[in-house]
Amino acid sequence: MLQFDRNKAAAVARETQNAFISFDAAYLSALQLATSVLEAKHGSNLPERDGQRLMQTVHDSAGNLLAGRAGMVAATAILQRVQSRSNQAETDFGCPGVGPWQLMGQGRDHEPTKLSIAS
């Protein structure tokens, strides 16, 4: 059986949660940037070629963030498998990441909630 110090395992869980919060905040920011670029482009006389390159670059950047988050999902699955084979198997460290309820408002009349990065 794998043996982990409870405090150290809790630190790993906390940092995993913080990583998801950071990825989600960065992705949300990238999507907000994409919206701002579209709004700024409208009526600016920016040549379509430049606008297309700019929008594609912002889109690709957001996609890279999402791909990085997918890597964290895979890492979390490994951590959960390791935990299940350890002396901390029965310890509930909480779920990683934020839920959609923390990213979006309650309904259409609400704007997305700004994520605060835990310190």
3: how many CB neighbours lie within 10 A of its CB? 7
The reported pLDDT for the residue numbered 94 is 74
Rounded CA separation 40/59 (Å): 16
User: What pTM, to 2 d.p., does this model score?
Assistant: 0.73
- Tens of pLDDT along the chain (119 residues) come to 999 999 999 999 999 999 999 999 999 999 999 999 999 999 999 999 999 999 999 999 999 999 999 999 999 999 999 999 999 888 888 766 555 445 555 444 444 444 454 44
Angle at 88 between CA 16 and CA 18, to 5 degrees: 10
